[in-house]
Structure 1
Amino acid sequence: MPDARPVHEKDAQRIKTAQAGLRSAQAELEEAVAGALLNGASVRAVTELGISPNTVQKYGRAHGGPTEVNRSRFNETRWDRLGREADEERS
């Protein structure tokens, strides 16, 4: 087995900085996905941006979704949706 050699302080600091950036980016991604869902985007639409459906749903649930509005829109018929969207356009 090779001998254990220490990590140079400069390398260790670089690794720690990269890890902190990764955690920050991960948190931002989760909040952005959940925000899109809470703003009415569908899971399918968010997955088209390159995130798996399971991950999108996980982030949504972790940050307060699905809302009652999302649930009701999921259960509405095509005709209900067309009527709602027409009403929104008139407003």
Structure 2
Amino acid sequence: MPDPRPATEVDAARVRAAVAGVRTAQETLETAVAQALKNGASVRSVAELGLSANTVQKYGRAHGWPTEENRERFYESRYDREEREDLGDSQPA
């Protein structure tokens, strides 16, 4: 069995920086997905950007989606949606 050899300080710093970058990117991705859902995008349309629908839902739920407004809009009829959109309220506040 080979003897353990520690990483050099330069390599360790490089790895730590890369790990921090991955964590930051993951947080950015999750919040971007959740914000798109909160803004009214469908799970399917967000998933088409490169994620599975399950992952989209997981990230959304972890960051406060669906909001009460999202729930109301999900259950509204086509007539209600068309009426709301005609009034210019197609985007959540």
Alignment TM class, shorter chain as reference: 0.7 to 0.9
Q: Scaled by the length of structure 2, what TM-score is found?
A: 0.85
Residue 30 of structure 1 is matched in structure 2 by 30
Partner of 1:83: 83
RMSD: 1.4
- Kindly report structure 1 stretches of 4+ aligned residues shifted beyond 3 Å: none
Letter in 2 for 1:2: P
Aligned to 2:16: 16
User: What's 1:60 paired with?
Assistant: 60
Structure ranking higher in helix proportion:
1
Mean alpha-carbon deviation: is it higher for 65-74 or for 76-85? 76-85
Q: Which runs of 5+ in 2 are unaligned?
A: none
Give unmatched runs, 5+ long, in structure 1: none
User: Normalising by the residue count of structure 1, what TM-score does the alignment of the two structures yield?
Assistant: 0.87
User: How many residue pairs are counted as aligned between the two chains?
Assistant: 89
